[in-house]
Structure formats: structure tokens, C-alpha cells
Structure 1
Amino acid sequence: MSEQTESVPAPTAPHQAAPVPAANPILPLDDRTVNKVVEAALAEDAPWGDITSTALIPDGVRATARLSARETGVLSGSGVFAAAMRLTDPAIAVQFHIADGERFDAGSDLASISGPARSVLTAERVGLNLLQRMCGIATTTSQYVAAAGGNARIADTRKTTPGLRALERYAVRCGGGHNHRFSLSDAVMAKDNHLAVLTRSGDGGLTGALRQARAKLPHTVAFEVEVDRLDQIEAVATAGVDIIMLDNFSVDDLVEGVKLIAGRATVEASGSVNLETVGSIARTGVDVVSVGALTHSVRALDLGLDIDVEL
């Protein structure tokens, strides 16, 4: 699944969603994961109940609400928003009008909500917070995917909000992107600091040290190595690793790096990636472009909940 490197933050101008490629399947979120995150958020927001709604809203009053888009975007997190309502009060009904991964325009009504007014108001902020962030990630990802023009896979990194990684990774998929390794337990990724320790503590140079490390791993575990100079590539490629990351390379050096690797490993580019540079990076022949900005500095999309009281 996902991880890694330094990236230039995405622009903070109003989101313009790009079409999401239908060929990229959106793997669903696990209900247990969603419930765990949402329950923690609700407990944080109303640990002893919502005293404002209890004090101001008479018991038994019902409300209907419209979830509306105030800017263009890509939907992600419909199930998370619905869970915030359901876990607050099972009597709340939520109906989304479009599916995750679909594009919407400013002014669109995305969902209809109905139920006890107190409960809808209690769940509103948690539901919106999570949905707005996930839509922001999906929308930004769609922009990067469009800018890459199908020349390379756009992937996220481990630079996610603690506790929200599964939701943020799902949002990347909704935007047409892909996931890097999910955690430190999923794949080996040797970065510059790992290599500094490895080469000083072992024998046989970098190639030998990487081969020894490779020999310890099950055959099912992927092995990725980061390099930041062209002269490191041959020693790493000769070691037989699966993926070589070219970190903070210029476009010309990326082209040269792809030639030097010559199909011996999957090539990933990372660092200095933004919407202005991702297209030229993707055209160098790399297989994957990883973008930390998809999650670490994305802006939440502007969505609102407009409530009417049922008399």
C-alpha cells in the first residue's frame, strides 16, 4: 500500500476536479475501520452529550437536511458521513445522490438527511469534517492523475493524519490514484538514513549489504531502495531489488536514471512533485510518481449542511 518522500504542497486555490479514470477500481473501506474512527471522533466532540442541542431543541422535533457542494469536487467518504449520523442515532436516514469517485459541480445537492433534529445537529460537524477532508484528497488526487496524463501511476505516501490513514488512502483511490505501502510492516523501503547505517555496519559494499538484507526476507515481501544520485543506481539495481526510488532528481536525471535501471526494477519518482511538475516527471519513463501533498497538506473541500425543521 503506501509511503514516503518530501513533496511540494498542492496549490490552495479553489478545487477544480478532473475526470476520474474508470479503469482504477475503488477498493472499499472496511466497516469496522470506519466505525472505529467515527466513534472516536464522536466521543471527542461530545464526550458527555451535546448540551447545546439538548438545551435548545425540543425533544421529538424532526429535521430534514441537504448536503450541498459549495465548490466543484470528487466525492469520497459517503459511507463515513453516513456512519457519523447512524452511530449518533440509528433513526437518522442518509441518502447520497452520487457515488464515491464521481465528480460533482458547485451547487449540487449530494445527499438528503432526515431524522431527530437533536441527533442530526450533534453528528453534523464530525460528519462534515471527515467528508470534507476526504473529498479534498479525492479532488486533489484527480488533478494530479489528470496532469500525469496516464504516463505514470500517481501514488500517495505515509504522510497521513495519524488515525485517519485508511480513510485518506481510500480518498486517494476515489480520486483515481493508487496506494503505496500502508505501514512499516508491509514492505521494505530503504531510505538514505537506512543506507548510511547499513553500509557502515556491513561488508561487501552497498550491493552486498542489500543482497544480504534481501536474503532475509520472504519472497512475498517487496524491497524498495531510495537513491538520490545517479551514481548510486548501478549498485542498487545489481542487488536485485524490486523498486528503485529516484528522490528529488531533475527531469533530465530522471530520464537518465530510467535508462540506467533498464527495466531491472520498477522506477518510482518522488520529491519536488506539484501540479506544475508532475506532468513532465510522468513523461520521463518512470512507472510511479509518489506525492506526499495528496494527504499531508491538502485543503478540505467546502461542503455544507442546510437544515429544515419538520413541524
Structure 2
Amino acid sequence: MMNSNASFINHHSFILTGIPGIPDKNPWMAFPLGFLYTLTILGNGTILAVIKVDQSLHEPMYYFLSILALTDVSLSMSTLPSMLSIFWFNSHEIPFDACITQMFFIHSFGLVESGVLVSMAFDRFVAIRNPLHYASILTYSIIGKIGIAVLTRAVCVVFPVPFLIKRLPFCRSNILSHSYCLHQDIMRLACASTRINSLYGLIVVIFTLGMDALIILFSYMFILKTVLGIASKTERLKALNTCFSHICAVLLFYIPFIGVTMTHRFGKHLSPVVHMLMANVYLLLPPVLNPIVYSVKTKQIRSRIIHMFQRRRNRT
């Protein structure tokens, strides 16, 4: 019934997919997903609260961490409505305009996260290369301008995408591969040439995410060069330890992104379940694990969180 009416429904809505091939298992995913979203909100919310309350954490590194936490929450909230509608309420249909709006926010916050990771790499570079002038270089004003620039870049780059999708005619199946809307997933359902969409998507990946990855790589090459010039082994390890959390955040973002990009372009023969898992890992894993990594590896945040929970326990 769904496929026979695709030419009509497609102009008004898309059908989101839960677990491909085993829809009866969808309700079982509701609780793990709910748990992951809860962890995301609690973890990033705790990071934000701790940085706001503790005056000693009012430093550039922690301001950038706050921006990362806000981005992670925003990225998770972009997928939350459609995920809940599928796995909690078994409602798979999403209006065309709502789908495009969700797509815009998902891709925008993805680019924002990449930009924030670049900013944090620059922060580590300045802190290690020029520690005496660290606070004077990365002032509140500079951090604010960096944040605005990262957000503006993401919005400007993703802004044409909804219009590129809206110009396409859809007369094939209206069933998407994921539980939320992505540009490459919507694009494949079009019954006209998608060369412009594909070319624009490739340009965006190369000149934003690709360039960001190169900038981060070069930043760490300079950081490593600086660290190796430090005479004391203890100081070298201390300097590198301040970068560990950021390196983990970079790997948590870029490895799943590369994985989902490769499966979309070269893994058409793979099971739909693989595509679903890769896309979910890309969007759900970094927001869940980033606050855990920073809480475990950053002594100041870890001690403040422990102190906060101990104080609440003493009150009760």
C-alpha cells in the first residue's frame, strides 16, 4: 500500500525507517535510545553547570568545552523528535518540510561541531606554544567571535541544501533509510539528476570537514614539535595530557563520519542494518561519550563533579 501510493505521498511526506527488516523489534529500541538521550542531556548539562558554577574553570579551554557541550545537545535534539516518534509511538511518517528542516539542523550542527573541534585544537596550540600569553590571546571577545564565525559558516554552507532538495521531483519510493532525514538519503529518492546535489555535498565535505581535519592535524604537528622541545619529561607528559580529551573528541566525531560517508558512497551492497547502525553511531555516540571523556580525563572537572555530588549527599 505504501509503495503503490509513493508518487502521491512523496510530495507531502517521507517514511522514516526504524530497524530495517525487523520492524517488530522497534519497540525494544525505545528504552536504549531513551537512555542514550538521557545520558546526553545529563552529561552535557553537568559539564555546563560545573563550568558555570566554578570560577576556576572560567578559562578559554572550558569555554570552548561549553560550546562543544551545547552543540552536542543541539545535535541530539535535532534527531530526538523523529527517533521518539518511531520507537516510542510507532509513527514513521514525517512531513516533507519537517524533514527538510530536520536535515538542515542535523547538517548544520554537524559542521558546528567540526568547527568547535578546530577551535579547541587552536586553543591547545596557543596554551602549549605560548602559555604566558594564553589568556591575553584568547580573550572573551575572541572566543565569542570564534563561536559566531563557526555558527555562521555552518549556516551559510548548509543554507543552499534545502533549496537543492526542494527543486527535485520525487516520484519513486518515499521510504528513507534512517530514523531521521539526511541530505544524501533524501537525494537518492529523486527521479531527476542529482549531480548538482552530489557535487555540492562533495565540495562541502572537502572544503569544510576535510579542511577542518587537516587544520587539526597540522595543529597537533606543531603541538608535538613544541612538546618535544620541552626539557622536562614530566612537563612534556603534562602538556600532552591536556590534549588527550580533545584528541578523543576528534576521533569520536571523525571516525564515525568517515564510516557513514564510506558506507553511503561505496557500501550500497551492505545490509540496511549496517547503514542504520553507522548513521546512528555518527550522531549519537559523540554527544554521549564527549562529557564522559572530559569528566574522566580532566582533573578539574572530575574533582568538581565529585565535590558537587558529595555535597548533595551530605545534604540528604
Could you tell me the TM-score, scaled by structure 2's length? 0.22
Greater share of strand: 1
Rg comparison, structure with higher value: 1
Could you tell me the TM-score, scaled by structure 1's length? 0.23
